[in-house]
């Protein structure tokens, strides 16, 4: 089993000559859609003005002129059949700017038709309100809102959907749908306060006992995409990452064909959004629990994600830094064509690279910047500038830059090192005590006892204290010494080494050792210790 890098405390990173490697490009200014036809098909869940806006966004940022022209033409085709005049004129003008033939003559006719539909819907609303038919009034408000959406007038559409919600029965499926439509339309309009309010109302209504469960998955996905956009607007990237991963995981149980309507973010964008947000916001533990070990999320990536979206999380988790940076750059290019995430793409890429650098440095007390540059496939000078910025921002803990040796060094000892030193000191102290106990035990076994001046009541030659220390065993024979006692004492001292004299003296006796004489009588001489 592979040991995670943060689980291993290493004193010094291995050093050696770094292998030169070119730095991957992390910032680009123009992009290409691999399959424009499939891309346009994946936008059908959006409203007509949103589809036109998205295709024109691609036309503006595509590096390929032919592809940009084709995207503008597709936008014009989307806008013309019953679309709003503004979308038709914008698409036609873009086609003309790219050298094509953009016909905007249908704009006036489309505007007239959309106005007629809106007037009819408003007349139906007036009749329903006059009749005080609550259900008809709700439907009329919804029709008026839909007409405003088709015309690209999102502010009155938000108000109309909100009024439709007011005429819905509390705790009903109609109320849930109305709240969702308010949230989606408000997100497209950028009214983020309305998004937060109606997302909360919709989620509360979804949990009501009488709400049908047939469209709950679709509703919750739409609400999460709205909250995702709201978090991005507030630069709350961690919250946005959690919402994106949750949306991606939920797409496994959802049928795209059953989810037409006023979506705000198409499902084809979710996989890439979730991947970039995850690697820029989650640490290694979070990546494992929320992404790597999530079967539903991995299934969504396999079905809908690009190669970069599929592999970037695994590369970041495994510590394959050069590959991870290449995938991050590719994801940034892909999401630069996403109007929701494009304003944050560069920031998220930089955050992802900074997080990988912090992950690389975490296990080490000393890091060689040359080897680190080789691991990341970055130029060393550029890496040193980035590392210096991270150190100044306090994102690398107590590491400091050594510009002389081109290294990162820890300025303080870690708590782990202090704990290890404490354990070693305690172990040495315990070992010393054990050696003293063994020496005293061996002295008793070999009748080598200290019989000096007793400090307590004498009994049997002053051996009472030693009797207690030895567990109460009689030591009457302790006064009898055999020849060769000096040799045994020397042998024991050689075996156990130097021992504290105080630790080897039995309780109740003065400091001293036995010097056995050569005869067999009981007059062993007691020598006072110096």
DSSP 80-125: TTT--HHHHHHHHHHHHHTTS----THHHHHHHHHHHHHHHHHHHH
Domain finish residue from 412, 443, 469 = 412
- Asked if the model's pLDDT at residue 417 lies above 80, the reply is no
Q: For the chain, what is the mean pLDDT?
A: 77
Whether 477 and 521 map to the same domain: the answer is: yes
427 and 398 share one domain: no
Q: Residue 453's pLDDT band (boundaries 50, 70, 90)?
A: low
Q: SS3 for 260?
A: coil
pLDDT of 425 over the 80 cut: yes
- Report pLDDT for 13: 42
Asked if pLDDT for residue 83 goes beyond 80, the answer is: no
pLDDT, greater one: 360 or 452: 360
Q: Quick count: other Cβ atoms within 10 Å of Cβ 471? A: 7
Residues 494 and 424 in one domain: yes
Q: In terms of domains, do 473 and 428 share one?
A: yes
405 with 477, same domain: the answer is: no
pLDDT level of residue 473 (50, 70, 90 thresholds) = very low
pLDDT score, position 49: 84
Asked whether residue 524 is domain-assigned, the answer is: yes
Are both 422 and 513 inside the same structural domain? Answer: yes
Give the span between the Cα atoms of 390 and 353, in whole angstroms: 11
Nearest to 115 by CA among 86, 78, 75, 94: 86
| CATH number for the domain that contains residue 396 | 1.10.10.10
CA angle 93, 97, 100 (to 5 degrees): 90
Last residue of some domain: 104, 132, 160? 104
The answer as to whether 480 is a domain residue is: yes
Which residue has better confidence, 33 or 236?
Answer: 236
pLDDT for 150 equals 85
User: Do residues 456 and 369 both lie within one domain?
Assistant: no
Give the best-scoring range by mean pLDDT among 24-38, 320-334, 451-465. 320-334
Predicted confidence (pLDDT) at residue 213 exceeds the cutoff of 80: no
Q: How far is CA 133 from the centre of its chain?
A: 52
pLDDT of residue 210: 64
Q: Average of pLDDT values for 205-230?
A: 80
Does the pLDDT at position 500 exceed 70?
no
70 and 85 in a single domain? The answer is yes
Q: Examine residue 161 and state whether it is found in any structural domain, yes or no.
A: no
Establish if 259 belongs to a structural domain.
no
Place of tokens 């998955």: 217
Helices (H), 152-266: 154-166, 173-189, 192-206, 216-233, 237-250
Give the pLDDT band (50/70/90) at residue 258: very low
Give the pLDDT score at 344.
92
Q: List the domain range (segments joined by +) for residue 404.
A: 364-412
409 against 513, higher pLDDT: 409
3-state class (DSSP) for residue 526? strand
Task: Tell me the mean pLDDT in the region 269-293.
Answer: 90
Q: What is the pLDDT of residue 159?
A: 94
Q: Is residue 264 part of a domain?
A: no
Instruction: Considering only residues 212 and 385, tell me which one the structure prediction assigns the higher pLDDT.
Output: 385
Q: What pLDDT band is residue 487 in, cutting at 50, 70 and 90?
A: low
Residue 120 CB neighbours (<10 A): 13
The secondary structure of residue 476, as a DSSP letter, is: G
Domain's final residue, options 397, 412, 427: 412
Residue 464 — pLDDT band, cuts 50, 70, 90?
very low
What pLDDT sits at residue 123? 95
**What mean pLDDT comes out for the span 96-110?**
81
The answer to whether the CB of 5 falls within 8 A of the CB of 363 is yes
Q: Quick one: CA torsion of 62, 64, 69, 73, rounded to 10 degrees? A: -60
Round to whole Å and give the CA distance between 218 and 204: 16
Q: Is residue 521 part of a domain?
A: yes
Same domain, 453 and 488: yes
Two structure tokens written together for 63: 């590096």
Beta-carbon contacts of residue 450 (< 8 Å; ≥ 6 apart): 466, 505, 506, 509, 511, 512, 513, 514, 526
> What pLDDT is recorded for position 141?
94
452 pLDDT band, cuts 50/70/90, is low
Q: Is residue 403 part of a domain?
A: yes
* Torsion angle of the four alpha carbons 235, 240, 241, 244, in this order, in degrees rounded to the nearest 10: -140
- Distance between CA atoms of residues 411 and 428, nearest Å: 28
User: In the structure encoding, which two tokens stand for residue 240, read together?
Assistant: 């946005």
504 compared with 277, residue with greater pLDDT:
277
Say if 327 falls within a structural domain.
no
> CB under 8 Å to 354, separation ≥6 — which residues?
386, 390, 395
Tokens standing for residue 344: 């944050």
Residues 372 and 459 both lie in one domain: no
**Predicted local confidence at residue 262, as pLDDT:** 62
Among 105-114, 177-186, 290-299, 462-471, the range scoring the smallest mean pLDDT is 462-471
**What does the block give as tokens for 456?**
């307590």
Structural domain count, the chain: 3
Lowest mean pLDDT among 372-386, 414-428, 507-521: 507-521
pLDDT band for position 217 (cuts 50, 70, 90): confident
- Strand, coil or helix: what is 359? helix
List, in sequence order, every residue forming a beta bridge with 528; answer none if it has no partner. Answer: 512
Is there a single domain that holds both residue 392 and residue 489? no
What pLDDT was estimated at residue 236?
A: 94
pLDDT of residue 483: 42
Q: What is the pLDDT of residue 432?
A: 93
Average pLDDT over residues 374-383: 89
374 and 455 housed in the same domain? no
d(CA 530, CA 430) in angstroms, rounded, equals: 27
Instruction: Compute the average pLDDT of residues 156-171.
Output: 89
Select the more confidently predicted residue: 61 or 34. 61
Token digits for 312? Answer: 């970037």
Residue 446 has pLDDT above 50, yes or no: yes
CA–CA separation, 428 vs 413, rounded Å? 22
């Amino acid at each position: 089993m592979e040991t995670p890098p943060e689980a291993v405390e290493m004193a010094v990173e291995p050093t050696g000559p770094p292998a030169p490697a070119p730095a991957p490009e992390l910032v680009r200014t123009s992009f290409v859609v691999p399959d424009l036809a499939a891309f346009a098909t994946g936008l059908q869940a959006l409203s007509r003005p949103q589809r036109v806006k998205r295709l024109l966004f691609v036309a503006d940022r595509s590096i390929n002129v032919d592809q940009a022209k084709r995207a503008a033409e597709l936008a014009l085709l989307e806008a013309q059949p019953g679309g709003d005049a503004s979308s038709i004129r914008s698409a036609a003008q873009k086609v003309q700017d790219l050298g094509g033939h953009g016909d905007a003559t249908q704009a006036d006719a489309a505007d007239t038709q959309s106005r007629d539909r809106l007037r009819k819907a408003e007349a139906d609303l007036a009749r329903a309100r006059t009749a005080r038919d609550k259900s008809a009034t709700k439907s009329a408000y919804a029709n008026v809102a839909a007409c405003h959406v088709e015309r690209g007038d999102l502010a009155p559409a938000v108000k109309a959907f909100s009024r439709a919600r007011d005429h819905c029965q509390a705790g009903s499926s109609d109320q849930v749908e109305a709240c969702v439509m308010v949230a989606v339309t408000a997100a497209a309009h950028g009214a983020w306060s309305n998004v937060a309010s109606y997302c909360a109302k919709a989620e509360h209504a979804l949990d009501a006992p009488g709400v049908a469960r047939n469209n709950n998955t679709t509703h919750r996905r739409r609400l999460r995409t709205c909250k995702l956009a709201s978090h991005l607007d507030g630069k709350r990237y961690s919250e946005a990452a959690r919402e994106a991963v949750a949306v991606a995981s939920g797409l496994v149980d959802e049928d795209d064909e059953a989810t037409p309507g006023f979506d705000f973010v198409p499902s084809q964008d979710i996989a890439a959004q979730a991947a970039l947000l995850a690697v820029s916001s989650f640490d290694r533990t979070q990546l494992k629990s929320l992404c790597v070990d999530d079967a539903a999320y991995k299934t969504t990536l396999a079905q809908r994600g690009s190669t970069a979206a599929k592999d970037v999380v695994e590369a970041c988790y495994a510590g394959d830094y050069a590959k991870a940076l290449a995938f991050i750059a590719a994801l940034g290019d892909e999401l630069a064509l996403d109007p929701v995430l494009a304003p944050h793409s560069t920031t998220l890429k930089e955050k992802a690279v900074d997080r990988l650098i912090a992950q690389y440095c975490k296990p080490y007390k000393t890091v060689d910047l040359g080897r680190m540059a080789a691991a990341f496939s970055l130029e060393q000078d550029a890496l040193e500038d980035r590392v210096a910025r991270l150190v100044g921002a306090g994102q690398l803990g107590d590491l400091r830059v050594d510009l002389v040796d081109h290294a990162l060094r820890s300025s303080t000892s870690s708590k782990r090192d202090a704990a290890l030193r404490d354990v070693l000191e305690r172990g040495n102290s315990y070992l010393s005590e054990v050696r003293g106990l063994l020496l005293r035990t061996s002295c008793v076994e070999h009748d080598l006892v200290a019989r000096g001046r007793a400090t307590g009541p004498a009994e049997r030659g002053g051996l009472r204290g030693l009797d207690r220390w030895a567990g109460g065993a009689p030591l009457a024979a302790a006064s009898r010494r055999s020849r060769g006692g000096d040799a045994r004492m020397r042998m024991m001292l050689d075996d156990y080494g130097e021992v504290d004299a105080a630790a080897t003296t039995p309780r109740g006796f003065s400091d001293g050792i036995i010097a056995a004489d050569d005869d067999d009588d009981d007059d062993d001489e007691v020598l006072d210790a110096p």
